[in-house]
Structure 1
Amino acid sequence: MKTIKFNKTECGVDFLINVIDGSQLAYKYLLPKVHNADYFEILIFRKGNGHILIGHKTIKVQDNTILFISPFQHKRWNVDYAQLDFTILIFQEDFLNEFFTDKLFTSRLLYFYQYDNSTFLQSNTGQIQSICNILQEIKSELVTPHLDSAHIIRSLIYYLLQRLNREYAKAHRLPFQIDTTNHAYAFKKLMELHIKEKQRIHEYCELLGISRITLNKAVKKQFNLTATELLKQRLLTEIKNELIYSEKTISEIAYEFGYSEPNHLMRFFKNQTGMTSSEFLADYQNGSN
């Protein structure tokens, strides 16, 4: 599987961020074969035609669609290049960490590393144009940097990402409040790093140095889910990706995730989805997912 990597030299920028006129480079970024990338992507479609498969979810790409894609998510595009008019914002996590001195910033953005809701927004022409105007300002600072360009880019990207976060929370009816303890977001970030080898709450409590009660309270407040429910969502997403995109057997997947017996993984999958892994794959291949 191809991994598209961020290349500052190729992008012609000095930062780990870029704004791209997708209409001219659709063939490079919107590949018809399964691939992933090592950066975050936000795609703003003024005109859209087709769909994208992200993980196990199919999303229709139409006019005024905003897509959010996290690093290394498996994806495959089926679109009509000639009918597209869109802009892409790409950036690596290190860029935000450096700019905001906050290693949990991307974990606070509800549309990235989303396990339950679809990672898209359906907007309107006015909102899309407003977002594209901001992206054009960022692009101008990237192409012709000045002494104060870093400050301007920082303010513009912070405003844009937070604005989209608010709109995403509203559209998907998600809790939107500030977690002053950071435990919920730290837990979410740790799951991205360790989900294959750690599937028990107490393991994450040990990493965070907090009690199960404290973690559960923080997660419930921020995501309106228990810590166990959020962990199960993340684990299920990872297992589905392995079933769809790898050529591993159930036994091999179970071993990789630390299950002592394949039946234990299969029981978890059936309890969460109501389907066996074979039924899930059959539905996926028939376009039901």
Structure 2
Amino acid sequence: MKNIRFHKTQCGVELLLNVGTGHELQQINPGFNIHDSGVYTTDSFEIYFFKKASGSVVLNQRKIQVRDNTILFMSPFQKRQWKLEERDLDFTFLIFQEDFLNDFFADKLFTYRLLYFYQLDYPLDLPVTGAEMASICEKLTEIKSELVYPKVDSEHLVRSLLYYILLKLNRQYATQHHLPLEKPENNYAYQFKKLIEQHVREKQRINEYAALLGISRITLNKAVQAQFNVTATHLLKQRLVFEIKNYLIHAEFTVHEIAQTLHFSEPNHLMRFFKAQTGLTTSQFLADYQNGTIA
């Protein structure tokens, strides 16, 4: 499977960030084909702002209908496949690397605080009004201008505009899905989310993550419940199921191979876990997926 990496020189920019219109995307991202891209990943955060669109994208193993005034959110290494109609297609993309934010913000967990990134429970698209889309795209145009005609303070302006856009979208996403947006009392929930992304293949017990954080299981669960309104166990199991599905669909591993990779003691334990979480056997899930039923 192709993984497309962000290269500043290839993108024609000096920063780990780029903004452009649809016709520019294929120049910097050869994997993007509006008719049928094939499955690929990238190593960047990506947000797509569709002013006009018709078609779909398979993202996070789900088929998302792409319509007018739709915003799509993609996290690094998420597998996706585009099927869009070329007629009347009009969109803008925003691509950036986490290091771009980390170099500027003291908060190294910022991307994990954004509800639409690394999201498995709620949709990865956000419908907006035409006026809202126009307002966002106006700021994206400002960013593009600073990239094309850089000045001494351009980097600071770009980061400020990006920060504004990301937080504004986060507020809107939270409102759309009735998600909590209170200021966290601590960072444990976000640190846990980050650690899951880093260690899910070898650590599947809450106690292991609590130990990494240097806190009790009870403290971790309270922090996750307060911030995400679900238990720590739910987040971990949800992410593990997603990893199993990825291996079934994209790596074509056998259940035995997946069990070994994810450190299940026996393939039967993996199969029971998967059935308990999804209601399907691994074979049923794979058959449904191949028949076009996206779980």
TM-score range, shorter chain: over 0.9
Partners of 1:23 and 1:84 within 8 A in 2: no
Give the percent of matched residue pairs that are identical in Structure 1 and Structure 2.
58
Using the alignment, how far apart are the partners of 1:249 and 1:263 within structure 2? Answer: 12
Matches within 5 A, 1:171-250: 171-250=176-255
> Do the aligned partners of 2:31 and 2:38 also contact (CA within 8 Å) in 1?
no
Pairing 1:276–2:281 present: yes
Q: Residue 22 of structure 2 aligns to which amino acid in structure 1?
A: G
Give the secondary structure class of the aligned counterpart of 2:73. strand
Contact 1:46 1:63 in 2 (8 A): yes
What amino acid maps onto 1:4 in structure 2? I
Task: Tell me if 1:256 matches 2:261.
Answer: yes
Contact 1:23–1:87 (8 Å) recurs in 2: no
TM-score, normalised by the number of residues in structure 2: 0.95
State the AA in 1 paired with 2:32. Answer: L
Q: Which consecutive unaligned segments of at least 5 residues does structure 2 have?
A: none
Note the C-alpha offset of 1:26.
4.6
Correspondence for 1:44? 49
Q: Deviations over 1:146-185 (max 9, x none)?
A: 1111221121111100000011111112121121311000
RMSD over equivalenced CA pairs, Å: 1.2
Query: 2: CA distance between counterparts of 1:23 and 1:153?
Result: 22
Query: What is residue 163 of structure 1 aligned with on the other side?
Result: 168
| Aligned partner (choices 24, 43, 56) of residue 61 of structure 2 | 56
| Number of residue pairs the alignment of both structures matches | 289
Q: Which residue number corresponds to residue 25 of structure 1?
A: 25
Contact 1:37/1:73 (<8 A) preserved: yes
Structure 1 CA distance for aligned equivalents of residues 85 and 26 of structure 2? 10
Hey, what's the Cα distance between the residues in 2 that align with 1:205 and 1:17?
34
Distance 2:142 2:166 in 1: 15
Which residue is equivalent to 2:4? 4
Q: Distance in 1 between matches of 2:128 and 2:20?
A: 20
Q: Which residue of 2 aligns with 1:87?
A: 92
Counterpart of 1:146 in structure 2: which amino acid?
Answer: K
Q: SS where residue 108 of structure 2 aligns?
A: coil
CA distance in 2, matches of 1:75, 1:24: 19
Change (3 A) 1:116 1:155: same
Answer yes or no: is the 8 Å Cα contact 1:57–1:118 preserved in 2.
Answer: no
Tell me, in whole angstroms, the C-alpha distance in 1 between the residues paired with 2:26 and 2:71.
15
Q: Cα offset for 1:81?
A: 2.6
1:135 corresponds in structure 2 to 140
Structure-to-structure mapping, 1:107-146, within 5 angstroms: 107-146=112-151
Quote how far apart the aligned CAs of 1:55 are: 2.5
- Segments of structure 1 that go 5 or more residues without pairing to the other structure are none
Structure-2 residue corresponding to 1:148: 153
Q: CA deviation at 1:16?
A: 0.3
